[in-house]
Amino acid sequence: MIVNLALIPKFLEDNWEVYYIGSEQGIERKLIEELHIKYFSIATGKLRRYFDWNNFKDPFKVLQGTLQAYTLIKELKPDVIFSKGGFVSVPVAVGGWLNRTPVIIHESDITPGLANRLAIPFATKVCTTFPETEKHLKTKKSVNVGAVVREELFKGNKQKGLRLCDFVSSKPVLLVMGGSLGAKKINQAIRDNLDKLLKDFQVIHICGKGQVSEEHQSYGYKQFEYVSDELPDILAMSDLVITRAGSNSIYEFLALRKPMLLIPLSKAASRGDQILNAISFKDSGYCEVLFEENLSNEQLLDNIYSTYNNKEKYLNNMRQYQANEALNKLLTIIKETAK
C-alpha cells in the first residue's frame, strides 16, 4: 500500500487516469477514495499454506475475481497495470494478461510471496526492493529498483506533531505502529506496560481499525486507528519506533533515521518474510529485533530501553545508508511499459 500511495500522486500530477482494484473488504478503500481515485472491488480468496475449510471454497472466489478483473480491465482499457502483491493481485494479473495489458509487479520482501509467485508468469516485469530477491525469482523479468519512500514523509513538522497529540518537547516520543489485526499482540503488550512506559516516554499508538482502547486514556498516550496526512508530522517528532517488519515501512523509517525495535510476524502467522527482513536490518545495525515468540512484558521493556539507550549507534549506522532514486526508477519503468 505504501508504494501505491507514493506512486498515485505522481501519476495524478501528470494527468493520468488512475483506477484502483482492491478486495471487497479492503482496508485501503478509504485511503484510496481520499485521493479521489475510483475504487473497484472484486472477489478474492485467501491463499493459505495450512488446512482450513475455506480452502475448498476460496478457489471459486479467485475464479470469480478473475472474471470480474477481466471484465473491468476490458472496459477501462488501461495502458498498464501496477500490482503491489497480495491476494487481490492474482485475479488482476491474470485479467490483465487475458486482455493483453502489460502488468508490472512489485515485490517488497526478500523472498516473493505466494500471491506474487502465482502472478509472475502473467507479468511483464517484476520490480524488487532487495537485490538478493532476484536469485529467488529465477526470471529474466526482474529488475531491482530499491526501496520506494514517500516524498511527503520528509516534510513533517515536529511542532505540529506535538500539538496534534498534546505532547511536550522535553520528553521522548515512542511511536508504536500496530496498524492491523495481526498486531493485536503488540497492542496488548504496550497497554499492559503503559504505566511504566509513560514514566519515561510519551506514546503515540497507531493501533489499527477497531483497536482503539477506551479503557486506556492517559495524558501522554495518544491513540489512532490509522493516520494519513498527519503521519509526516508524527514521524518528525518520534524518537523511537516499534513496528512489525514489513519492508516498505522499515525502509521508510531507515530513510528518516528512526531507531527501530522490530517485532516481526512469527512463522506461525506468516511465511517468515518479516523475520528475514528484520534479520537483514539487524545485521546492518539499523535496529533491534524482538521475536514474537519471546514477547513478554519483561522482554518488551528491556528491548525498548536498550534500543533507546543505544539510539546513537543505530543513528550512526543509518547515516551510512543513502536512499536511492527508487520512486523515479519505478515511475520510469511503468511509463515506458505503458508506451
Looking at residue 51, its pLDDT comes to 53
Identify whether residues 137 and 192 lie together within a single domain: no
Instruction: Of 241, 182, 187, 243, give the one whose Cα is nearest residue 212.
Output: 187
- Please state, rounded to an integer, the average pLDDT across all residues of the chain: 90
Identify whether residues 130 and 157 lie together within a single domain: no
Provide, for the chain, the percentages of residues in helix, strand and coil under a 3-state DSSP scheme, each rounded to the nearest 5: 45, 15, 40
Provide the domain count of the chain.
2
Identify whether residues 331 and 273 lie together within a single domain: no
Can you say whether residue 52 is alpha, beta or left, with left for phi > 0 and alpha for psi between -120 and 50 degrees?
beta
CB 282 within 8 A of CB 174: no
Looking at residue 87, its pLDDT comes to 81
Distance CA 314, CA 320 (A): 10
Domain of residue 102, residue span: 2-149+325-338
Identify whether residues 168 and 291 lie together within a single domain: yes
Tell me the one-letter amino acid at 146. Answer: G
Residue-wise pLDDT tens digits, 251-306 = 999 999 999 999 998 876 677 889 999 999 999 999 999 999 999 999 999 999 99
Residue 331 grid cell: 515511475
Segment 4-15 mean pLDDT: 93
Identify whether residues 187 and 202 lie together within a single domain: yes
Identify whether residues 227 and 107 lie together within a single domain: no
Residue-wise pLDDT tens digits, 226-246 = 888 899 999 999 999 999 998
Query: Which contacts of 118-122 are long-range, i.e. CB under 8 A and separated by 24 or more positions?
Result: 118/47, 118/90, 119/83, 119/85, 119/89, 119/90, 119/92, 119/93, 119/94, 122/93, 122/94, 122/96, 122/97
Looking at residue 54, its pLDDT comes to 60
Residue-wise pLDDT tens digits, 141-150 = 999 998 998 8
Identify whether residues 173 and 312 lie together within a single domain: yes
Identify whether residues 161 and 121 lie together within a single domain: no
Residue-wise pLDDT tens digits, 323-332 = 778 899 999 9
Identify whether residues 62 and 180 lie together within a single domain: no
Identify whether residues 314 and 181 lie together within a single domain: yes
Distance CA 153, CA 112 (A): 27
Distance CA 93, CA 115 (A): 10
State which H helix or E strand residue 70 sits in. helix 58-76
Residue-wise pLDDT tens digits, 150-190 = 889 999 999 999 999 999 999 999 999 976 555 888 999 99
pTM score above 0.85: no
Identify whether residues 104 and 178 lie together within a single domain: no
Instruction: Of 184, 321, 169, give the one whose Cα is nearest residue 257.
Output: 321
Question: What CATH number is associated with residue 74?
Answer: 3.40.50.2000
